[in-house]
Structure 1
Amino acid sequence: MGNQKKSVIVTVWVTAVAGLAWLLSGAIRGWLLGHPTRLPGQFVALLFPETLARRTWQSVEPWPALLALASVVTMMAITAFFVWVIVTRSEHRSPGQRLGFLSLWMGVVLAAFSTAAFTSLGYIVATWPPARVAALLDGIEPLLFAAGYWGIIWGWIPAWVGSRLTRSAESSHKHKPATKRSTELVLLLSAGVLAVALMAAFPAAHRSTEEARAMSEPSPPPVQTPEPVVYGSPEVSHAFQPPGKNWCEGDEVAISWQEPEGATGHRGMRFELTNTGTGPCLLESYPDIAFDNVDGWAMDVLVVHGGSFMTDDPGVSAVTVLPGQGAQAFLGWNAMAAAGDMRTGTMLVAPYPGTLRHSSPVDLDIIDGGAVSLTAWAPIKEESAAIKNTRPKP
């Protein structure tokens, strides 16, 4: 057998057996870990190292088969290069020397390690940029160690086949040294091209998998924004004034108010209480008053008992209100800059704090944080004397 033919046979056999062993180890491991078996995971990892990375089987079809094929072909190409170099270099040894089993074994180990390195680089490119720098090497170390371990427990098989073929050829043929630089270069270029293709396959598989997952996952239903719960002023004030004997209750009266009047930046407003009961009742307090803005929210308005620029406070006195008759009180305030603020949209008035309030829509330039003046209940006077004469005539 000629030296060139012998080198080709050894290279082909070692490459084929190494590729088959690489495929079997990764495929058997992936199948056993992906299906329920009685074999412990540690035992599977011990016998079948991770030659085909776990992410290979997590990709969408047809990428698991394509990535496995790319890994095996790259492994075989790199193995062919290393074995060819070892075999052709050994042709210069003396006639009594043989091609060493350990040399071929080391070539297979280097090929496995190189394939794992290119696979790791492909994963780095696929997941770039990493979420954190420390995670950049998380998937590299296990693959490299698995490749080295595979070279120890599986790599001896193709090396043994190659060494047996070498011995058989040397026993019946005379050694003729030869160098095959051109073949060596072709194998190196082929291995390089396949390694680059392997690296490029992983980003493509990663993109396809992410797109498939995005399409398969149902879009979350639109979040229903609940309507906000509006907290307006209560129908009965939390503040409580102990009522006197026969005081007018909120459910026995009617309360109405007029449009506000203004003068030189001041406001005044009159409201009137009418006894709707069957007997007389007594008023001897300041009215209870509260405000809600146009959206219905309770407003924080400071209520000061007393008069204002446009109102006079007669003070608290006993006012008897006969059925069908009434009493009056006045609200005064300074004009407030309501631009950009919520105006008052509802006013609530009760005969005294602690009884039922009467409410009605209004449009007042009273805003949150403002202050108003409130007079005590008084008998109804002539309209001309209801508000100070400083107010403009309506």
Structure 2
Amino acid sequence: MGISKALPVVVVALVAVGCGSGEPPAPVTQAPVSSSRVAPPPALAVSAGIVEAGLGHRASVLTLTNNDAQARTLNGYPTVRVLDGSGKPLDVQVHHGVSYFSPDPGPKAFTLGPHEKLMSVVSWSATVTSGDTTTGAAVGVVAAPGEAEQTVPLKTDLGTTGEITVTAWMKDLPK
């Protein structure tokens, strides 16, 4: 098709959509902005660090941050549960104490000011002997009695051991 035969089709198409007609374009409307609010972070927020590995052992540091305007007093161990990909608790034993990656300072009271942090080490062995292996996708953590459980993504390849070890809260990681 030559240019002279295609030109009338283009002109008709432009006129049909209102281009060059002298009329203002139709107003553009936007979808309404949602008025839902994002929930503020919990007063005591927990996060998990990267998983460190060594000789079949694994560990991650849980960090607790006081987002409250008030100082908070904590003592002891966080409550930790290993969860599957749908958030269901797995049958995993939790021990308090020392591990391959960290000594356990034992329970000690801390007054945590606004924006201050505490840490706890969660560790496990990826040993496989016989039977089914267990892998968690997250941990449920209760920072202190009376606080709500927080779900924190953390892959735990527990092998066939079915257990983790958790240290008490501490200000600094051991050197």
Q: TM-score range by the shorter chain?
A: 0.5 to 0.7
> Identity, % of aligned pairs?
27
| Residue 286 (str. 1) matches residue 74 (str. 2) | no
User: Are 1:347 and 2:139 matched, yes or no?
Assistant: yes
Which of 145, 152, 155 is the aligned partner of 1:363?
A: 155
Distance, in Å, in 2 between the alignment partners of 1:354 and 1:281 is 13
Aligned residues of 2:49 and 2:60 also touching (Cα < 8 A)? yes
| TM, length-normalised to structure 2 | 0.68
Structure 1 CA distance for aligned equivalents of residues 163 and 121 of structure 2: 14
Partner of 1:314: 105
- Structure 1 unaligned runs (5+)? 1-249, 386-394
Q: Secondary structure at the match of 1:270?
A: strand
User: Which one has more relative contact order, counting CA pairs under 8 Å at least 6 apart?
Assistant: 2
How many residue pairs end up in the alignment? 134
| Partner residue in 2 for 1:270 | 61
The whole-number CA distance in structure 1 between the counterparts of 2:147 and 2:159 is 25
> What is the CA–CA distance in structure 2 between the aligned matches of 1:341 and 1:290, rounded to whole Å?
17
- Give the drift of 1:261: 0.7
Q: Is residue 379 from structure 1 mapped to residue 152 from structure 2 by the alignment?
A: no
Aligned partner letter, 2:94: V
**Change over 3 Å in CA distance of 1:370–1:255 after alignment to 2:** same
Q: Deviations over 1:216-259 (max 9, x none)?
A: xxxxxxxxxxxxxxxxxxxxxxxxxxxxxxxxxx9411111111
Is 2:116 the counterpart of 1:325? yes
Deviation at 1:366, TM superposition (A): 2.5
- The Cα of 1:307 is off from its aligned counterpart by 0.9
TM-score by length of 1: 0.32
What SS does the corresponding residue of 1:337 show, helix, strand or coil? coil
Amino acid at match of 2:123: G
Alpha-carbon distance in 2 for matches of 1:369, 1:353: 28
In structure 2, distance between residues paired with 1:294 and 1:342:
12
Q: Give the conservation status (yes or no) of the 8 Å contact 1:276–1:324.
A: yes
Distance 1:294 1:342, change over 3 A: farther
Which residue pairs with 1:300 in the alignment?
91
Residues 354 and 336 (structure 1), Cα distance of their counterparts in 2 relative to 1, 3 Å cut? farther
- Paired letter, 2:113: L
After TM superposition, give the deviation of residue 263 of structure 1 in Å: 1.0
| CA separation of 1:289 and 1:368: change in aligned 2, threshold 3 A | farther
Q: Post-superposition, which runs of at least 4 consecutive aligned residues in structure 1 deviate over 4 A? A: none
Structure with the higher strand share, 1 or 2: 2
RMSD: 2.4
**Counterpart mapping for 1:75-154 below 5 A:** none
Q: Report the alpha carbon displacement of residue 266 of structure 1 after superposing the two structures with TM.
A: 1.2
Q: CA deviation at 1:287?
A: 0.4
* Counterpart Cα distance in 2 of 1:353 and 1:282: 11
For residues 104 and 53 of structure 2, the distance between their equivalents in structure 1, rounded to whole angstroms, comes to 18
- Read off the aligned partner of 2:150 and give its amino acid letter: H
Structure (1 or 2) with the larger CA radius of gyration: 1
Name stretches of at least 5 consecutive residues in structure 2 with no aligned partner. 1-40
Cα distance in 2 between the residues matched to 1:353 and 1:334: 27
